[in-house]
Structure 1
């Protein structure tokens, strides 16, 4: 029987015994819904016969470190999977624990956007998501998907990281950086306010992009490097991006007047912005993004991946085929 690309069925037998699962929950995801979903996922996984070790930590960095330690165990204590409960942020955490290890990643969506779960074909309903994790573990079935390895260049800030979905490196990243500097308001209101504050003062950025060795110099309002189609709760910034083609979609929005830039944004939710003459999309396996110096744009740009802070540009992004094994249903 032939299976779709990216699928690994192992020996394809049904495993009647439970698996050893490391569970990480973001209790604040989904406006506080994550805690309840995490408790329900823990109870259901144990009820299905799995041995579950829950990682409890005061912050994301500590949770990632403890989860990595649990996943690194060998022998009879070896983890069969890491399962995360929350939004894209905790999926990003899980990816950085398991990428390249062969340990599969399961996701129970409990965020407000859940772009990565949607891109990977996972159920939005938490109970169905836990049942998908259970079924994939018992069948030893995983999908091997691309992830993005990013490293700083020329002493830029931040260390190496993995990204599952979209890297923001323009206006969207600046909005994220501004919003993250505020404690109030909370949730989507904070980002909407950051957009309103940033729009009148943001200026085009001179970029130097290197795509598989080819140099592309351009002034842009927005640069996104995408492994999957959407971010920000359904904005289809790169509608044709795929996590199985070994390539990254580089989306560039050239300078336009403020009123046109504002009108462009609703099109992003449908993915029709790529049809506009001010938007260009190119593909490459490796992309280096630099903000041109020389005083033309003294403001630093901090890149964000999966909504999480990566560090200042310049950075290099490389599509890595099959870097993550995901407990996900077959593609249709």
Structure 2
């Protein structure tokens, strides 16, 4: 039988670049002999529903064509299913694709890599929300200053990426105040005011901001980065170091690792994979090697 590939597409992603890329990829896959079914999500909830529907048909791979938000929805379908996940970057941030070495390529090249079928296992994070709802995420959960910036950026009427993120940072600095966090990491507790906390399975968010620099997606642990309270002047000067990960050496930054992390505090709302999750209390638990990621270098 010919290989069966499911394409999950967010047509609006990347200023509609995803729609164009999905058509080219579909044609390349079919030209290579694959049977292709395209699922087009019109919203986050619709994409999540379609991901589960696609996986129920037991394809040889589910391919997410879009940004980190679409990958997040695809993840809800593939965890525990045995269906490999491929990521074709067509969004603005593409942090998950970057973490797995997936760059821009021709449709033919992407089709060849998908059909080669080589995979590597990745951990994911099971997130429990205050109402008991469980979601999975692949990259970083953010609470505090960065999450509030994300909330602002999501309401912008123009494209995001690093430029949009910086505009959001400037806007949030006008009103932000340190948050009284309580963070439990495998029984170890951090209880003090801080600027932000990030729980990462991979290292970056926001289009390449390495907030959890050094995090690895297959080590069975979560990286927790806590930025202690600082004057706004120092915070403004030091926050740009997140762009290259050099903030990890600051006295204000505490880096811990663990398998289970619970965040409490009046932090507003948390974001995971760039998607709005809800306010603390938020519990993160690593699920080792829960997803097979298709190797883009095949």
Aligned to 2:157: 184
Q: Distance in 2 between matches of 1:24 and 1:158?
A: 27
1:132 to 2:109 alignment: no
Q: Distance in 2 between matches of 1:199 and 1:315?
A: 24
Aligned to 2:2, the other structure's residue is in SS state coil
Aligned to 2:150, the other structure's residue is in SS state helix
Q: Distance in 2 between matches of 1:158 and 1:168?
A: 19
- The CA deviation string for residues 256-294 of structure 1, in whole angstroms up to 9 with x for no partner, is 122221221221121111011111100000000000xxx
Deviation at 1:22, TM superposition (A): 1.2
Structure-2 change in CA distance of 1:263 and 1:18 (3 Å): farther
Deviation at 1:106, TM superposition (A): 1.0
- The CA deviation string for residues 104-149 of structure 1, in whole angstroms up to 9 with x for no partner, is 001111122211111112233253333211212xxxx311110000
Aligned to 2:274: 307
Deviation at 1:186, TM superposition (A): 4.2
Q: Distance in 2 between matches of 1:195 and 1:161?
A: 27
1:328 to 2:295 alignment: yes
Equivalences for residues 1-332 of structure 1 within 5 A: 18-73=2-57, 78-127=58-107, 128-136=109-117, 141-152=118-129, 156=130, 159-180=133-154, 182=155, 184-188=157-161, 191-291=165-265, 300-329=267-296
Cα contact 2:186–2:259 (8 A) shared by 1 = yes
TM-score, normalised on structure 1?
A: 0.84
Deviation at 1:150, TM superposition (A): 0.5
Cα contact 1:18–1:48 (8 A) shared by 2 = no
Q: Distance in 1 between matches of 2:233 and 2:100?
A: 35
Aligned to 2:93, the other structure's residue is in SS state coil
Cα contact 1:64–1:97 (8 A) shared by 2 = yes
RMSD: 1.9
Aligned to 1:221, the other structure's residue is in SS state strand
Cα contact 2:140–2:199 (8 A) shared by 1 = yes
Q: Distance in 1 between matches of 2:292 and 2:160?
A: 31
Q: Which stretch has the larger CA shift, 194-203 or 217-226?
A: 194-203
TM-score, normalised on structure 2?
A: 0.93
- The CA deviation string for residues 61-112 of structure 1, in whole angstroms up to 9 with x for no partner, is 1122122122113xxxx31211110111111111111011111001111122
Cα contact 2:153–2:160 (8 A) shared by 1 = no
Unaligned runs of 5+ in 1: 1-16, 292-298
Cα contact 1:118–1:124 (8 A) shared by 2 = no
Q: Which stretch has the larger CA shift, 186-195 or 56-65?
A: 186-195
Rg larger for: 1
How many residues align structurally? 296
Cα contact 1:100–1:324 (8 A) shared by 2 = yes
Cα contact 1:109–1:125 (8 A) shared by 2 = no
Q: Distance in 1 between matches of 2:188 and 2:148?
A: 26
Unaligned runs of 5+ in 2: none
Cα contact 1:285–1:318 (8 A) shared by 2 = yes
